[in-house]
């Protein structure tokens, strides 16, 4: 398959698809991210309409050869499922804390059932620290923020749990334990949002927790970055133990930003020049893989081949060479790959890697909408043969 731009007689352009058969492996992770944060579609649906929508969503993914749906169930310390720990999400009903009109409807339980009917996996996607994507967003009266406002940090226009507080780690683990206990999820999934992406000229205000805990954790006043990484490491390790002690067959996966470290920061880093997991988000994904704290690693390689600062091929090879102990999947950006006519060659490249075991597509709604014919290409070419 290749995406070809054709110039029509009237001077406008549209895309046509030329398919080139490519061999497909018998075992391959083929995931799709379905984000709920920022989405208006769900709050416009009643429960009956959402049941129909989710049923069609899973059917369309199945027809496109997707075998794992990564569905965002906790976008802002809230819930797309029935919870006694956090309120219903505003992205579900329009108002945080407002339940669906049908008291028996639970979106997470429903989509799990639909996926399992078709032999597909459902990974419950949570954002660990984020509470507000914008400060104007209203929190429900029962939100944990109102009980413990001192445990949260405002940064830019957003609000976060302070990652340095043990009680926040314990609460996040409690949320995960609740999901794993009550729902038949195949995995718990977290993406790239740990400490927030840096904002020029602004500092993350964790002085109080740093002064309280850094020394007892073995860090000096000059080691705030190391202390922050340790906070995230502790969360990841505790989450792994939480899941394993509840249902040991449920996996724990992370989808980090695509650059671990640049070579200029670490001789073992990638030959890239961009934001870094380790230094900027305080996420030591390489350590988590080596320690076995996560069950799969899914770096987001959203750049094009030949990108000046972060070449896709360079990063693909780097991750393949530094991820031996756990399954490695690659996050693909459909929009950018289609715009650059690169989707087919990128998927073929991943299949040539010794330690890459599949791909996941951002964003999943473009598969559902058959954007530029991408669902047809998956069905007829990339995913023509089913994979386990």
**How do residues 240-260 score in pLDDT, each as one tens digit?**
999 999 999 999 999 999 999
Determine the Cα angle at 342 with ends 300 and 194, to 5°: 10
| 337 touches 313 (CB < 8 A) | no
pLDDT band, residue 23 (cuts 50/70/90): low
| 191 touches 127 (CB < 8 A) | yes
* Residue 121 falls inside a structural domain: yes
Q: Do the strands 29-34 and 13-18 form a parallel or antiparallel pair, or are they unpaired?
A: unpaired
Q: Tell me: pLDDT of 83 over 60.
A: yes
pLDDT band, residue 17 (cuts 50/70/90): very low
Domain count, the chain: 1
pLDDT at residue 58, as a whole number:
99
**What proportion of the chain, given as a percentage, has pLDDT over 70?**
94
Q: Tell me: pLDDT of 1 over 80.
A: no
Distances (CA, A) of 175 to 56, 166, 239, 294, 302: 29, 14, 10, 18, 30
Residues 259-267 have a mean pLDDT of 97
Exposed / middle / buried, residue 202 (Cβ in 10 Å: 0-12, 13-18, 19+): exposed
> Nearest CA to 132 among 159, 166, 101?
159
Q: Which residues pair with 32 in a beta bridge?
A: 69, 361
Q: Is the dihedral of CA 81, 87, 88, 89 positive or negative?
A: negative
Q: Could you list the residue range(s) of the whole structural domain that residue 315 is in?
A: 25-129+177-199+245-382
- DSSP H/E element including 187: strand 187-190
* Residue 118 falls inside a structural domain: yes
| 88 touches 78 (CB < 8 A) | yes
Residues 333-359 have a mean pLDDT of 94
Q: Tell me: pLDDT of 299 over 90.
A: yes
Please state, in angstroms and rounded to a whole number, the distance separating the CA atoms of residues 206 and 249: 36
CA 99 to mean position of chain CA atoms: 25
CA 114 to mean position of chain CA atoms: 21
Residues with Cβ within 8 Å of 31's Cβ and at least 6 positions away in sequence, in order, are 66, 67, 68, 69, 70, 123, 298, 329, 358, 359, 360, 361
- In the numeric block, the tokens 């965002």 are attached to 72
* Residue 112 falls inside a structural domain: yes
| 280 touches 294 (CB < 8 A) | no
* Residue 18 falls inside a structural domain: no
Residues with Cβ within 8 Å of 267's Cβ and at least 6 positions away in sequence, in order, are none
* Residue 162 falls inside a structural domain: no
pTM listed for this prediction? 0.92
pLDDT at residue 24, as a whole number:
73
* Residue 147 falls inside a structural domain: no
**What proportion of the chain, given as a percentage, has pLDDT over 90?**
89
* Residue 16 falls inside a structural domain: no
| 228 touches 279 (CB < 8 A) | no
Q: Tell me: pLDDT of 18 over 70.
A: no
Q: Tell me: pLDDT of 297 over 80.
A: yes
Determine the Cα angle at 52 with ends 51 and 53, to 5°: 90
Q: Tell me: pLDDT of 22 over 60.
A: no
Question: Can you give the CATH number for the domain in which 365 is found?
Answer: 3.20.20.80
* Residue 51 falls inside a structural domain: yes
């Amino acid at each position: 398959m290749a995406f070809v731009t054709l110039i029509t007689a009237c001077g406008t352009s549209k895309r046509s698809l030329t398919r080139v058969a490519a061999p497909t492996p018998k075992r391959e992770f083929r995931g799709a991210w379905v984000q709920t944060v920022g989405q208006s579609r769900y709050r416009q649906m009643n429960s009956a309409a959402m049941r129909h929508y989710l049923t069609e969503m899973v059917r369309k993914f199945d027809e496109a050869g997707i075998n794992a749906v990564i569905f965002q169930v906790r976008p802002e310390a809230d819930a797309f499922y029935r919870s006694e720990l956090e309120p219903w999400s505003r992205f579900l009903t329009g108002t945080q804390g407002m339940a669906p009109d049908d008291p028996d409807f639970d979106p997470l339980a429903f989509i799990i059932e639909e996926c399992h009917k078709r032999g597909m996996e459902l990974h419950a996607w949570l954002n660990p620290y984020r509470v507000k994507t914008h400060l104007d967003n209203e929190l429900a009266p029962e939100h944990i923020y109102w009980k413990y406002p001192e445990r949260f940090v405002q940064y830019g226009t957003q609000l976060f749990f302070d990652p340095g507080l043990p009680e926040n780690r314990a609460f996040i683990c409690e949320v995960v334990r609740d999901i794993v206990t009550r729902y038949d999820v195949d995995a718990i999934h977290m993406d790239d949002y740990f400490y927030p992406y840096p904002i020029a000229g602004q500092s993350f205000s964790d002085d109080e927790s740093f002064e309280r805990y850094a020394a007892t954790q073995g860090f000096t006043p000059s080691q705030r970055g190391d202390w922050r990484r340790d906070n995230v490491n502790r969360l990841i390790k505790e989450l792994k133990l939480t899941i394993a002690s509840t249902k040991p067959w449920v996996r724990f996966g992370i989808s980090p930003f695509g650059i671990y470290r640049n070579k200029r920061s670490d001789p073992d880093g990638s030959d890239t020049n961009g934001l870094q997991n380790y230094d900027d988000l305080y996420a030591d994904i390489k350590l988590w893989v080596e320690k076995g704290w996560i069950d799969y690693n899914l770096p987001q390689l959203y750049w094009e081949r030949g990108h000046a600062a972060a070449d896709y091929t360079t990063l693909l090879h780097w991750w393949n060479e530094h991820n031996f102990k756990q399954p490695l999947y690659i996050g693909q950006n459909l929009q950018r790959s289609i715009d650059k006519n690169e989707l087919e060659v990128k998927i073929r490249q991943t299949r040539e890697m010794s330690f890459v075991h599949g791909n996941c597509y951002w964003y999943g709604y473009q598969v559902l909408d058959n954007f530029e014919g991408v669902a047809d290409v998956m069905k007829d070419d990339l995913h023509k043969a089913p994979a386990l």
